[in-house]
Structure 1
Amino acid sequence: MNKKIVYGIIATLLVVLAIIGVNFYQKVFGNAVHKDGAIYIKSNGTLTEVTQQLSNFIDAPENFSWLAEKKKYLTPKGGKYVLKKGMSLNDVVNLLRSGNQTPVNISFNNQDTIEKLAGRISQQIEADSLSLVNAMLDAAFLNTNGFTEKSALGMYIPNSYEFYWNTSAEKFRDKMLKEYKRFWNNTRLNKAKDLNLSKEDVTTLASIVQKETAQKIERPIVAGLYLNRLKSNWPLQADPTIIYCIKQEKGQDFIVKRVLNKDLEINSPYNTYKNTGLPPTLIAMPDISTIDAVLNYKKHDYFYMCASVDNIGFHDFASSLAQHNRNAAKYQRWISEQGINR
């Protein structure tokens, strides 16, 4: 055979091999991910499901499936995985195979019930709301850690926390218990002791203060007022506890715009018009700022407060019943003018 022909064949083969090599390299190591983003792999997720999610980030998901099989990535590890524009398929497979997931920041505040809290958390991690409720209200867990179904909400301190997305309901609950114990450090415990209150008492009072005013600047004043009543063995007469009682009877979605005299007769240990002292447990989830407002309450001689007509959203405080009656009459006239009956 003519040497030129042989050389030509060899050259052609080399070119073909070079093209195949370049294509293979590009297929495996070339830029594949065309945008930044993240995928969320379920704890029992399948490779097919992973490939479907990746189809939003790569143009040839079948190439990913091929490479995943070659690299023995067959059983996905659950979690959130962040993809960067320009990553190769090899980068993606290595990331997913390593299980090096990215944590998520979850947050919650002002959830009035365990069920509402579970619903909020289930929007941010893999665990569903039912499994979260079951874990949070597990009788053995509550008994071991000194909580009841009514007081369990107090274990969850509103804030932002870092979790892995595929955290189970039980692990979420257990970590929140650790955060609760960390929150109640010696400084806070000593301040509670100075008030002759337990940490549970502080949380209960804070939940009332939280519902009484949305104004952070007022909360230390309101806390001081309730502490004045407690020290004098007065009933707290806190409307938020009456609203809590009404919602216990009529459902959490029932809207109360005005507390009526008949509501004050509700027979419940949470009715602070009929009972002295604090109610048995918290009535809502207080913010950290509100808990600290109780622990660092403002000292004064106020025993009465009434929603302000002149400064909407705030309260008028009084030391005497006569002044309070004037404030209350002014408010009642105003609220009737607004046509608010319930």
Structure 2
Amino acid sequence: MAKRNARGFGCLGFLLLVALVAGGFFWLYVHRNWSGPGPATHPTTLIVPQGSTLADTARELEHLGAVRSTTGFLRFARRFGDSAPIRAGEYEVAPHMSAKDILALLQTGRTVQRLITIPEGMPSILVFERLAREKVLTGKLPIPEEGTVLPGTYSFQRGEPRKAVLKRMQDAMTQTLDQLWIRRKANTVVNTKEEAITLASIVEKETGVPVERPMVAGVYSNRLRQGMKLQADPTIIYPITKGKPLGRRIKLSEVRAVNDYNTYAMTGLPKGPITNPGRDAIAATLAPAQTDALYFVADGKGGHVFSDTLAEHNANVQRYYRLRRAQGTR
């Protein structure tokens, strides 16, 4: 009886050992093909087109070397993975990323984030050129109307139409202008949103110091109220270059040129914007500083000196010229 019990326990122990070994092999198999490190040795870009199935994507993953086999990936995904659908887009599969993590990546839609930045004061011709240089975008693009693009950083995806990216930039400008227009102050000199963008574009080009924008807007508002010429240098340059850098000094003939933009030869606002102003420049135009200043000139340190009278302004100009001479510039 004792011998029979010993044989029974021995058989049970053997079966238990077999089960443990089999379980260990199964765990290793699952780990190798599902939750463990994948075969990719370098970052891999995966494009999942609209309408792609999991099987289509699995074949592409095997082709790229990101999973060991299409069949294995699908088998484990159906048995152990989430049932959520995969999403279209561009993905980056990290080196040795597991099949489990790849499926989660595709289901959560964490696509590659591509960004394009439009700096404050970038004219539309340069916005057009920047979008045209993005090789992963598609389709042709017209030069956008000046003042319709809100500067900022925008995300886009591989294969996205350039027109779609531009539309987001223009929609952002429309929404921002609408929001700021509602909160405009009583001392703003502009009567329409179009005028606001035009004046804001001049403010944007006249100072690169953010805290000065309300003051510059205040000066130009005072000039418009009094019927004075704005005399903004950037409005001379715009008809010549469409907002691109002039690359030289302004000629006297250009100062005297009569056109729809040159505010040295006309009173009032120019025909339209001379660049794409940022949010802060628009806000400053709609809520300018309360000031009596009518003039400003560079201070030689990146900012400006403001004055109420022409005599004060002329003195500030002479001080600026002396500073430039002292620095060895003209």
In the TM superposition, what are the counterparts of 1:238-253 in structure 2 within 5 Å?
238-248=232-242, 252=244
Q: Cα offset for 1:204?
A: 1.7
Q: 2-side partners of 1:281 and 1:196: how far apart?
A: 13
1:227 aligned residue (217, 221, 232): 221
- Distance in 2, matches of 1:37 and 1:78, equals 19
Q: CA deviation at 1:283?
A: 1.5
Residue number in structure 2 paired with 1:261: 252
- 2:37 partner amino acid: A
Can you list the C-alpha shifts for 1:271-304, whole angstroms capped at 9, x where unaligned? 1101221122222222211111111111211111
* 8 Å CA contact 1:105, 1:160 repeated in 2: no
2:298 is the counterpart of 1:307: yes
**Contact between 2:181 and 2:286, CA under 8 Å: does it hold in 1?**
yes
Q: Is 1:158 matched up with 2:154?
A: no
1:216 aligned partner: 210
2:311 corresponds to: 322
> Which amino acid letter does the alignment assign opposite residue 104 of structure 1?
Q
Unmatched tracts of structure 1, length 5 or more: 1-9, 56-60, 138-148
SS at match of 1:200: helix
User: Are 1:191 and 2:200 matched, yes or no?
Assistant: no
Matched, 1:81 2:86: no
Distance 1:278 1:40 in 2: 51
Are the aligned partners of 2:189 and 2:225 in contact in 1 as well (CA < 8 Å)? no
Query: 1:322 and 1:21 mapped to 2: Cα distance?
Result: 91
Alignment: residue pair count: 308
CA contact (8 A) 1:104 1:165 kept: no
Matched position secondary structure for 1:298: coil
Note if 1:24 corresponds to 2:34: no
Quickly say closer, same or farther: Cα 1:176–1:189, change in 2 above 3 A.
Answer: same
Deviations 1:281-334 (A, max 9, x none): 22222221111111111121111111124xx11222222222222222333344
Q: Distance in 1 between matches of 2:212 and 2:176?
A: 23
| CA contact 1:42–1:166 (8 Å) conserved in 2 | no
- The structure having more radius of gyration, on CA atoms, is 2
Question: Which amino acid in structure 1 is aligned with residue 148 of structure 2?
Answer: M
* Mapped partners of 2:92, 2:325: distance in 1: 56
Identity among equivalent pairs (%): 26
- The one-character-per-residue Cα deviations of 1:185-218 (angstroms, maximum 9, x if unpaired) are 3552452785343222212211211111111121
The corresponding residue for 1:127 is 137
Matched, 1:41 2:50: no
Which is further off, 82-91 or 168-177?
Answer: 82-91
2:113 corresponding residue in structure 1 = 104
Which consecutive residues of structure 2, in runs of 5 or more, have no partner in the other structure?
Answer: 1-14, 79-85
Pairwise CA RMSD? 4.6
CA contact (8 A) 2:126 2:244 kept: no
TM-score by length of 2: 0.71
**Alpha-carbon distance between aligned partners in 2 of 1:29 and 1:159, rounded to the nearest angstrom:** 41
Change beyond 3 A, Cα 1:79–1:26: same
